Chain A
Amino acid sequence: MLGFAQLFASRLVKAAAILIAIVVMNFFLVHAAPGDPAMVMAGEAGAADEKFVAQLREQFGLDRPILEQLGTYVGKIVQGDLGFSYRQQRPVWDILAERLPATLVLTLTAFLLALALGVALGTLAAVTVGTWADSAITVVALLAYATPIYWIGLMLSLLFSIQLGWLPAFGYETVGAGYTGLAHVADVAKHLILPVITLALFYMASYARLTRASMLEVRGLDFIKTAKAKGLSQGRIVTRHVLRNAILPVITVAGIQAGQLVGGSILIETVFAWPGIGRLAFEAVLQRDYQVLLGIFLVTSIMVILFNILTDILYGLVDPRIQVSQ
């Protein structure tokens, strides 16, 4: 247990240093794009004069030297203040706090579903390798992996919302219904089904393929032969020996993907009008809403780092031979 605590502490210190570097890099990256929020807003207004653009620049602080802007920004971040979006007229933290839960509900549900289904299907395919079940799983996984995610989303809403009328095609909740408590949860869950399936299908496919390949590789190793020779049951060999060893690459990939899920949900959030952070990021890029964009980058960076630490810990749990690094 002490090992874990030490690991965790040392990783957190490193993470803080990485985060500062990320903040500075993101700042320059974002400001390197042509155009600024004042220009975007002037363009949107359909008319502008110098005074209008100058007023906006002053308001955004864009008339200051870039290093001064960076200094102000980093100073605020260190104090836990993510800045203020002049475009939305609200603190960035409020905007993120409003959008983050929707994305987390969507992506975590999809992620867990994809992981469970993917590993189960991959295992099944590996166990029944060469049979029709294996072929069916392989074909489905290949299709789900190769089909563009937004197209699946549109086809699902065409079938289940327009044709059958079973599920809502978009949105997070029924507008103006005023549900509370369980009824609200059920309402959100209903809206969640199509986007979760769409997002989960893609990840499920990659986990299934990975699990299958990895299991087939492990299955041929000597210690499996030993286990068989010892007379262990087929079920025990698959779960305790094959899967436990074959799952490591899946954890690696899942760890990376979990960190990316927030960004990866942009398309889903767009197709299903899901009020999450992925779409917010996309809009912030188009509108050059620097503060919001940097805030999202920061939050997603933190998530990537957290998932990396989690993955390392999981490694140690699944396979104690992997040393907790110092």
Chain B
Amino acid sequence: MTRRLTGIPASFRRSFQGGFTRGVHRAAAAGLLAAVLAVPGTAALVAAPAMAQETPVRGGVLNSIVQPEPPTLMLGLNQQGPTQTVAGKIYQGLLTYDQKLNPMPSLAESWTVSPDGLTYTFKLFQNVKWHDGKPFTAKDVVFSTSKFLMEVHPRARAVFSRCESITAVDDNTVEFKLKEAFPAFIQAFEVSSAPMVPAHLYEGTDYRANPANTTPVGTGPFKLKEWVKGSYIQLVRNEDYYKKDLPYLDGITFRVIPDAASRSLALESGQVQQTQYSDLEPFEVPRMKALPNLTMTTAGYEFVAPLSWLEINHRVKPLDDKRFRKAIAYAIDRKFIRDKIWFGLGRVPTGPINSVVKFYDPKVTTYEPDLAKAKALLDEMGLKPDGKGVRATVKIMPMPYGETWTRLGEYLKQSLSKVGIAVVLESTDAAGWSQRVANWDYEITTNFVYQYGDPALGVARTYISSNIRKGVMFSNTMGYSNPKVDELFAKASQENDPAKRQEQYSEVQRILSDELPVVWLLEMEFPTFLDKRVKNANTTAIGVNDTYESVWLAK
């Protein structure tokens, strides 16, 4: 209910890059280009042939949807999907990422990594100001990463606790020294992973109770003007934005529309010009795609790279037997799930790493639907059919995140019954679901988890034994444990040589695809619908959550 769901066609990407280099940063282009080129790996992005067809114009308000309504816009304190979409315009991280997950400048103009992979030095843009007029400096970065986020942000805490020291070299330079090499570190500076917060408002206060939380002060191209709870959130242009002439838009209005059918009506009638993540149920997508005033893209979700799976509790028999899990995999048709339940959105996964994430390897054991193989595996386990043809009964608790997940539950019940696995469907709501999964009180559930740009950040956590922690969501709630897997994930997270890292991750993928700790269902894609008048939107790996500094509306 509260999380949301990714990808961009090549033509779209090209036109973005055109806008990026030609229109957006005309003034700062030279400096920026130099900065980007200074980073190995990003040169290709800038060098790609790019032609923007139109010149950006200033003005106009973009209407979008925010659903559900965020509890707060203080991004450091809350990283829920809708919070990110809105607050991503207000707050900024040091970096953003292109759709191949290469780092790009955001608040940091350039950066260097020492050859031993232990020291990361960021040069910040000059003349950046907080929305209250105070200058943004290296001091804010040090406060945010070493104090604020360490206290309140679980993902950032896991990353920045690997730092030996975080120091401000001068007003515009920050140096992170790591205890040991951690190449995924460069993926950790996106706005929701490490939002920069103003030290002058938060230092020495009780962060969660700070009155400043209701009036977010960021550095982004948009400022909060008005938030009418239950109705809309209105953002307006930050006139003092540090990139000259940006943003183009006068403002962005996010409307709270709780009903999925009403959201599609709002898009259809032109009252909003953008929908994202799970704003629309997948079954609405084919109809909306046909509308002439809209374009749809699944790009812009590469950073989160959601992967959905059947989460299986290994503490319950016979689910602890890999033959049983393989039988389940053979009994279901994942192409059918993609085409008929998700209406073509997504890709059939091969293993634990989403194919848009680095170090993905397709050369692993795969599972095509095959009822005979499934039954043979169950026979081998000694699970013979009883009088009613039932070999085993399992409980499945579908994720309570909308109708599509309920339909998936019904499909699973039906397919598993064909090989003699009877399914009892359990229903719950979001709060009950997370409590039961976190406390291992389930047999099988559906779930999806974000990968955050690197296997060390978003993949390892659900398979390593050290992360079997009761009461904690999105940890290794399955209770899967394999010392070899633990070792490979640990080594790969500290390996500076990309080739060796690839070998280690490939081996992990081979082991996991054979042992099937979970049954991977879908590399999920979310549809982003945009009115054709909206230009330059959704151009990075964080798509709709990015600043929208260079988005413009054609007249």
Binary B-proximity of A143-167 (CB < 8 A = 1, otherwise 0)? 0000000100010011001100100
Q: Tell me the interface secondary structure of chain B in the complex.
A: mixed
| Contact call A46/B79, Cβ cutoff below 8 A | yes
Residues A35 and B68 in contact in the complex (CB < 8 Å), given A158-B265, A169-B266, A270-B258: no
Chain B residues with CB below 8 A from A51, complex form:
154, 157
Q: Are the CB atoms of A161 and B157 closer together than 8 Å?
A: no
- B68, B232, B259, B432: the one contacting A175 at CB < 8 Å is B232
Query: How many whole Å from B246's CB to the nearest CB in chain A?
Result: 21
Contacts of B431 in A (CB 8 A): 33-37, 39-40, 43, 286-288
Contact partners of A222 in chain B: CB under 8 A: none
Q: Which B residues touch A48, using CB under 8 A? A: 154, 472-475
Query: Cα distance A90–B214 when bound, in Å?
Result: 9
B269 contacts A39, CB within 8 Å? no
B80 at the A interface (CB under 8 A):
yes
Tell me if B434 and A43 are in contact (CB < 8 A): yes
Over the window 258-290 of chain A, the binary record of Cβ atoms lying under 8 Å from chain B Cβ atoms (1 yes, 0 no) is 000000000001111101100110010111100
B240-269 contact mask (Cβ, 8 Å, vs A): 1 or 0:
000000000001010111110110011011
Give chain A residues whose Cβ lies under 8 Å from the Cβ of B72.
88-89
Tell me the smallest distance from the CB of B336 to a CB of chain A, in Å.
28
From B107-115, B126-134, B223-231, give the one contacting chain A: B223-231
Given that A48-B474, A52-B154, A171-B232 are contacting pairs, would A33 and B262 also be in contact in the complex, using a CB cutoff of 8 Å?
no
User: With a CB–CB cut-off of 8 A, which chain A residues contact B79?
Assistant: 45-47
Asked whether any CB of chain A lies closer than 8 Å to the CB of B435, the reply is yes
> A150 to chain B: which residues have CB within 8 Å?
259
A40 x B228 contact (CB < 8 A): no
Interface pair A272/B157, CB less than 8 Å apart: no
Instruction: State in angstroms the CA–CA spacing of A111 and B245 once bound together.
Output: 52
- Produce 1/0 per residue, B58-84, CB < 8 A to A: 000101000011011000001111000
Give 1 or 0 for each of B430-461: 1 = CB within 8 Å of chain A CB. Answer: 11111110100000000001100000000001
Give the residue of A49, A88, A170 whose beta carbon is less than 8 angstroms from that of B154: A49
Cβ-based interface call for B234 (8 A): yes
CB of A256 within 8 Å of the partner chain: no
B1 CB within 8 Å of chain A: yes
Q: Given A45-B79, A154-B265 in contact, is the A39-B71 Cβ separation under 8 Å?
A: no
Contacts of A59 in B (CB 8 A): 208
Instruction: Tell me the bound Cα distance from A175 to B80 in angstroms.
Output: 24
Q: When chains A and B are docked, how far (Å) is the Cα of A40 from the Cα of B471?
A: 12
**Is B203 in the interface zone, CB < 8 Å from A?**
no
Cα–Cα, bound, A288→B428 (Å): 13
A68 at the interface (CB under 8 A from B): no
Does chain A have a CB within 8 A of B429? yes
Please tell me which one of the listed residues A44, A50, A175, A271 contacts residue B253 in the complex, with CB atoms under 8 A apart: A175
Kindly state the separation between the CA atoms of A170 and B263 in the bound complex, as whole angstroms.
Answer: 10
Q: Is A273 a contact of B269 with CB atoms below 8 Å?
A: no
The residues of B that contact A99 with a CB separation of less than 8 Å are: 229-230
Residues of A within 8 A of B209 (CB): 89
- How big is chain B's contact interface, by range? 35 or more
**A282: nearest residue on chain B (CB-CB)?**
B258
How many A-B pairs with Cβ below 8 Å?
181
Q: Does A42 contact B (CB under 8 A)?
A: yes
Question: Which residues does chain B contribute within 8 Å of A170, judged by CB atoms?
Answer: 255, 257, 262, 265-266, 271
Residues of B within 8 A of A171 (CB): 231-232, 255
Chain A residues within an 8 Å CB radius of B268:
162
Query: Which residues on the A side are within 8 Å of B432 (C-beta)?
Result: 33-35
Contacts of A53 in B (CB 8 A): 471-472
- Whether B234 pairs with A176 at a CB distance below 8 angstroms is yes
Minimum C-beta distance from A163 to chain B (A): 9
**Contact of B469 with A89 in the complex, beta carbons under 8 Å:** no
Q: Is B3 an interface residue (CB 8 A)?
A: yes
Within 8 Å by CB of A45, from B154, B229, B262, lies B154
Q: At the interface, yes or no: B295 with Cβ under 8 Å from chain A?
A: no
- When distances are taken between beta carbons in the complex, the residues of chain A under 8 Å from B271 are 168-170
Cβ–Cβ contact B154 & A161, under 8 A: no
User: Nearest-CB distance from B553 to chain A (Å)?
Assistant: 15
Residues of A contacting B471 in the complex (Cβ-Cβ under 8 angstroms): 50, 53
Question: Given the complex, which residues of B lie within 8 Å of A42, measured CB to CB?
Answer: 434, 438, 472-473
Known: A50-B471, A157-B265. 12 other contacts (CB 8 A): A34-B436, A42-B473, A44-B78, A48-B154, A89-B213, A89-B214, A150-B259, A170-B265, A175-B255, A273-B257, A273-B258, A275-B231
Selected A-B contacts with CB under 8 Å, 27 pairs? A35-B430, A36-B435, A39-B438, A40-B430, A41-B71, A42-B434, A43-B431, A43-B434, A44-B3, A45-B79, A45-B80, A46-B80, A49-B475, A51-B154, A52-B152, A53-B472, A157-B265, A162-B265, A169-B269, A169-B271, A170-B266, A173-B231, A270-B258, A273-B262, A283-B69, A286-B1, A287-B71
Binding site for B on A (CB under 8 A): 33-37, 39-53, 55, 59, 86-90, 95, 98-99, 102, 150, 154, 157-158, 161-162, 165, 168-173, 175-176, 269-273, 275-276, 279-280, 283, 285-288
* Residues in B lying within 8 Å of A, measured CB to CB: 1-3, 61, 63, 68-69, 71-72, 78-81, 152, 154-155, 157-158, 208-209, 213-214, 228-232, 234, 251, 253, 255-259, 261-262, 265-266, 268-269, 271, 428-436, 438, 449-450, 461, 469, 471-475
5 tightest CB-CB pairs across the interface, nearest first? A35-B431, A275-B230, A43-B434, A34-B432, A35-B435
